[in-house]
Chains A and B, each alone.
Chain A
Amino acid sequence: MRRRDFIYLSGLGAGAMLLPDLKAFGKTIDHQQLLDGGIDVKAKKELADVALNTAKSKGASYADIRIGRYLNQFIITRENKVLNVANTESFGVGIRVIVNGCWGFAAGNVVTKDGVAKTAERAVAVAKANAKVGGAPVQLAPQKGYGEVTWKTPIEKNAFEVPIKDKVDLLLNANSVAMQGGANFVNSNLFMVNEQKYFASTDGSYIDQDVHRISPGFNVTKIDSSQGSFETRRSLSSPVGMGYEYLSPLDSEKVTGVTTRYKQRYDMLEDMKAAAQQAGEKIKAKSVEPGKYDMVLDPSHLWLTIHESVGHPTELDRVLGYEANFAGTSFLTLDKWKSGNFNFGSKQVNIVADKTQVGSLGAVGYDDEGVKCKKWDLIKDGILVNYQAIRDQAHIIGLKESQGCCYSQSWQDVQFQRMPNVSLQPGKTPLSVDDMIKNVEKGIYIIGDGSFSIDQQRYNFQFGGQLFYEIKDGKIAGMLNDVAYQANTREFWNSCAQVCDEKDYRLGGAFNDGKGQPSQSSAVSHGSSTALFKGVNVINTKRKIG
């Protein structure tokens, strides 16, 4: 996850973020434009054919074009004020070619026949310049053309059609719940995305997709000025691949317990009320005694551990060394996979990659190089069985076709391998969270994600959280503070003793997962049920300065 985006979205450090720099998201537009359909499919096909024919005539053996219109809406508030309502649009084309066995890419926002032809010529020139540097020629897995096809996120209510006033009212009402509940400050925000993307390639595909995502969030702050201390509690919502229906509460989508958590529908007002109270409790909570604990990890927390310690190390480009200069490589080297018996985790650990899961951030019909999306096993009964690969990597692991997980954050960035939704499968034996806790003698129950850090080969990690509860002799004994756990990925997943059944299964997710140079952002979900990990090392994070 990109830290800058994370800080920006969570509304931390509100002073300096009063008017966020929206350039990264494109240009700002008025609300009405968000509802325009953009240019029609026929015009897009004509432009695509100009680009593909130009590239071929200049020597490309393969070419693809993405005509993208990326719409965002941000609503940012604090206490009783709307700080910003922004609508942004980014529209342009990105053209990728192979010439002399080498990739070239160019992008521009002059979307005319002449403009795309010139962009195609620039992409060819880039490929020719780079081909002189040498290296093995690109080997693309075969891909049949799908002809003219479409796909749309199955939303019930288009968030861009909901009046701004309704959204502002929801956030300000939630803020007032927090202030009435004793909070000193509250920041809340809504972030909505619509990717209208058209893909065409020399393989004969013309794919028109309409992708929707939404991310509601807040951060409540409670101050104890006599001690010069403060605590925060962030929302337990998740970014999702859904429409505005995610914000219509439904009792059947709530998970009750020590605090309420949410499945496919989120109740912001209820969560805000709990957050204001819990931020106050955190200030008074007992500071944790460092040592070994059994960890009961809620899906609202575990998604991030899955993301960092399973999602990233199974990316084939990292395994091969393509990310060595930035995000790093992976401890899951090819020899471990080839052995067929590398114990990634205990037998309880079954992890799947899935670009088709309804409601998830990663779900699309086709990836950004025209491959139909699918689902496959990564870890089966604890054993490493597969990676995540795209067209120019498939041959390396003996695949005859791509796994369909190529993505670019916009028309102006080149597409590359990105993480599909990666999820821990629920336990097959019926097991509730209460029954799991009953058998824990000395443990900590963590809800919500917090601080996160992992090394460049994904061995050593440290995670915090939002809410920490001490478990003593099978019972919850009260709130703890200053908790973080440190572990080694393989030891951690081998310490997984139990996973609750499918009734507890929920998705969490990252709206801005960072990877690549220039860094690109991607949205991805991770599902799980609550899981138990035995004997994990916990540290105390309290420090004093000055």
Chain B
Amino acid sequence: MPILSKEEAHAISKKVLSYSKADECEVSLNGSERGNVRYALNAVSTAGDISVMGLAVTSVYGKKAGTATIDEFDDASLERVVRRSEELAQLAPPNPEYMPMLGPQTFAESITYNANTAAITPESRAEMVAKSLSVTKEAKLTAAGFLENSTGFSSIMNSKGLFAYNKGSDVTFSVTTRNEEGTASGYAARGFTDVSKLDTFSATKVAASKALGSVGAKAIEPGKYTVILEPVAATYMLENMFRFDARSAEEGRSFLSKKGGGTRLGEQLMDEKVTIYSDPFNPELPSATWGGDGLPREKTVWIDKGVVKNLSYSRYWADKKGVKPLPGPSNIIMEGGDTSIEEMIKSTEKGILVSRLWYIRMVDPQSLLLTGLTRDGLFYIENGKIKFPIKNFRFNESPVIMLNNVEALGKPERSISVESYRSYLIPPMKVKEFTFTSLSDAV
């Protein structure tokens, strides 16, 4: 029974705190039930069902902190874990950056839990996979995919009176379809809080049409091209930029550091079509309303019409700089526009439609130069029409430069990054002068 209700978590946490003798004490609880199915070569390969729950206690004397944990919940075990954390705190080196625990905070109820998703069983997972496989078997393609669901809770309570609780659920699905010759590949990924929105049949149809449309890909010369990035491609590229941290910027070691010192807060760093924010209450991509530091999370704009609007401050760094702490992004939403992908193609004289990117790594943290490759569907556009599929490219490009070159945006979609397993709401985008540096034979 790893999912505790708010009342159950409160009662256990309160009992733990009653044993504390330290200056400060915090108890955190978390538990989850997760299940997954993995399939390849049109059959299930592995599958699992995992359930865990644990409790951690942090005791503090001055600036010395110690943490101990346990997975038993009888009274004697709870007292033992408190004593152990106190002993460890006495032995620990003081942390000069330690901040006193927060007092009571007001948290809005999150919208992260969904009963349909919590009710997923091994049978329902297998059925969703069977629907996906029915598409590829009929299309004579080979599918490899992954479906994972999780429901979990977490809570913290401390001796200063803070209590926070959250329960959430999530389901993600991704599928790659390849032809028998191994000359074409397509991909689709979906993520939802509510599993009833997940249609593995239609997602697999999208992947299959990408694969079937990719047969006979031709090689063209690498270079600078106008690109239309589908949301999943744009997501991979941009997620490397979403750490708007004040400290590293002020220390002079971030793309947000300014020449001569200071940060780029308030500067126009990107095209004015670009607005990026976090909002725990976005119904498509909800997040918890509090973070590990115990601070409430609210809607925060990071980039406003291309201008750097906010930088996140940890409690320590905020205190040192005399500003209000601001937690980092809990989720990321980029505002879109009203141009459909079809319209973007129609307005393109010469360009490339990019379905997905892959293996993106930082080359230079100063300019955020990234390298990576296209994958699972790359198409050449000429005079407003898709002409033919093309072979994959390696790119070397910075998301900051890319967001200066945005020509049009579409409607944001929830996309999953397979590199980080995080979800984002990102629009499709048309970008000029995107830099491809070499050809790849990979399919």
Question: Taking the nearest CB of chain B, how far is it from the CB of A537, in angstroms?
Answer: 8
Complexed CA–CA distance, A402 and B52 (Å): 32
Collect the chain A residues with CB atoms within 8 Å of residue B440's CB.
Answer: 455, 459-460
Are B144 and A324 within 8 A (Cβ)? Answer: yes
- In the complex with contacts A13-B245, A185-B251, A460-B442, A30-B43 CB distance below 8 A: no
Secondary structure at chain A's binding surface: helix, strand, loop or mixed?
Answer: mixed
Knowing A15-B246, A21-B292, the reply to whether A325 touches B145 (Cβ < 8 A) is yes
Bound-state CA distance A179–B443 (Å) is: 48
Cβ–Cβ < 8 Å partners of B292 in chain A: 19, 21
Q: How far, in Å, is B139 (CB) from chain A's closest CB? A: 15
Contact of A223 with B371 in the complex, beta carbons under 8 Å: no
Inter-chain contact B176/A455, CB cutoff 8 Å: no
CA gap between A122 and B49 in the complex, in Å: 7
Asked if A16 and B48 make an inter-chain contact with CB atoms under 8 angstroms apart, the answer reads no
Q: Is A258 interfacial (CB-CB < 8 Å)?
A: no
Nearest residue, chain A, Cβ from B270 = A546
- Assess whether B367 is interfacial by the CB under 8 Å rule: yes
Residue of B with least CB distance to A136: B43
| Cα of A92 to Cα of B71 in the assembled complex, Å | 11
Q: List the A residue with the shortest CB-CB distance to B133.
A: A133
Closest to A125 in B: B122
CB within 8 A of A15: which of B51, B248, B255, B400? Answer: B248
Does the CB pair B44–A130 fall under 8 Å? Answer: yes
A122 to B123, CA, bound (A): 12
Query: Is the CB of A144 closer than 8 A to any CB of chain B?
Result: no
Is there contact, CB below 8 Å, between A30 and B85?
A: yes
A229 to B92, CA, bound (A): 37
Question: How many Å lie between the Cα of A230 and that of B367 in the bound state?
Answer: 11
B1, chain A: closest CB distance, angstroms: 10
* A412/B52 in contact, CB under 8 A: yes
Check B300 for interface membership: any CB of A closer than 8 A.
no
> What separation, in Å, do the CA atoms of A4 and B420 have in the docked complex?
7
Indicate which residue in A125, A185, A325, A543 contacts B367 across the interface (CB closer than 8 Å): A543
Interface residues of A in 77-129 (CB under 8 A from B): 81-86, 89, 91-92, 102-109, 122-123, 125-127, 129
Is A356 on the interface with B (CB-CB < 8 A)?
no
Tell me, yes or no, whether B100 is within 8 Å of chain A by CB: no
Residue contact B419 to A3, C-beta cutoff 8 Å: yes
The CA of A325 and the CA of B92, in the complex, are separated in Å by 45
**Does B47 lie within 8 Å of A130, measured CB to CB?**
yes
Closest approach, in angstroms, between the C-beta of A17 and any C-beta of chain B? 9
Task: Tell me the chain B residues, 427-443 only, with Cβ under 8 Å from chain A.
Answer: 437-443
A196 within 8 A of B: no
Q: What is the CA–CA distance of A325 and B328 in the complex, to the nearest angstrom?
A: 31
The answer, among B92, B178, B314, B401, for a CB contact under 8 Å with A18, is: B314
B272 is an interface residue with CB less than 8 A from chain A: no
Chain A residues with CB below 8 A from B148, complex form: 517-518
- The answer, yes or no, to whether B190 is at the interface (CB within 8 Å) is no
- Whether A103 contacts B401 by the Cβ 8 Å rule is no
Given contacts A325-B146, A541-B396, A133 and B243 within 8 Å (CB-CB): no
- Residues of the B chain whose Cβ atoms lie less than 8 Å from the Cβ of A333: 182
Query: Given that A13-B245, A83-B95, A518-B36 are known contacts, is A321 also in contact with B71, CB under 8 Å in the complex?
Result: no
Pick from B259-267, B277-285, B341-349 the stretch touching chain A: B259-267
- B309 in the interface (beta carbon within 8 A): no
Contacts of B368 in A (CB 8 A): 545
Restricting to B381-413, which residues have a CB under 8 Å from any CB of A? Answer: 392, 394, 396, 398, 400-401
A107 interface neighbour in B50, B54, B145, B441, Cβ under 8 Å: B50
Nearest to A458 among chain B residues (CB) is: B442
Q: Which A residue sits closest to B248, measured CB to CB? A: A15
List CB contacts (< 8 Å) of B90-108 with chain A.
Answer: 91-93, 95-97
Residue of A nearest to B176 (CB): A325
A-B contact count, CB below 8 Å?
A: 288
Which residues in B have their C-beta under 8 angstroms from that of A328?
358, 375, 442
The interface residues of chain B lying within 8 Å CB-to-CB of A544 are: 367
Contacting residues of chain B (80-130) with chain A, CB-CB under 8 angstroms:
84-85, 87-88, 91-93, 95-97, 121-123, 125-126, 129-130
Taken together as a complex, chains A and B put the C-alpha atoms of A488 and B443 apart, in Å, by: 14
Given A106-B48, A135-B43, A328-B442, are A546 and B38 neighbors across the interface (CB < 8 Å)?
A: no
A164 contacts which chain B residues (CB < 8 A)?
91, 93
Instruction: Decide if B21 is an interface residue (CB 8 Å cutoff).
Output: no
Could you tell me the distance in whole angstroms from the C-beta of B365 to the nearest C-beta in chain A?
7
Tell yes or no: B212 within 8 A of A by CB. Answer: no
- Let me know if A256 is at the binding interface, CB within 8 A: no
Q: Quick check: A230 and B245 within 8 Å, CB to CB?
A: no
Interface stretch of the complex, out of B7-15, B62-70, B161-169, B332-340: B62-70
The interface of chain B, by Cβ under 8 A from chain A, is 30, 36-54, 56, 66-69, 71, 84-85, 87-88, 91-93, 95-97, 121-123, 125-126, 129-130, 133, 142, 144-146, 148, 174-176, 178, 182, 185, 187, 243, 245-248, 251-255, 257-261, 264, 267, 269, 292, 312, 314, 316-317, 328, 358-369, 371-373, 375, 392, 394, 396, 398, 400-401, 418-421, 437-443
Closest 6 CB pairs of A and B: A135-B43, A228-B259, A15-B247, A460-B440, A324-B144, A455-B442
Add 10 more A-B contacts to A27-B54, A126-B49, A456-B375 (CB < 8 A). A31-B91, A83-B95, A104-B47, A321-B144, A321-B178, A457-B442, A457-B443, A459-B440, A541-B369, A545-B368
Interface residues of chain A, those whose CB is within 8 Å of chain B, are: 3-4, 12-16, 18-19, 21, 23, 27-31, 33, 81-86, 89, 91-92, 102-109, 122-123, 125-127, 129-130, 132-136, 164-165, 168, 184-185, 221, 223, 225-230, 232, 320-326, 328-329, 331, 333, 412-414, 416, 451-460, 462, 464, 482, 484, 486, 488, 516-519, 537, 539, 541-546
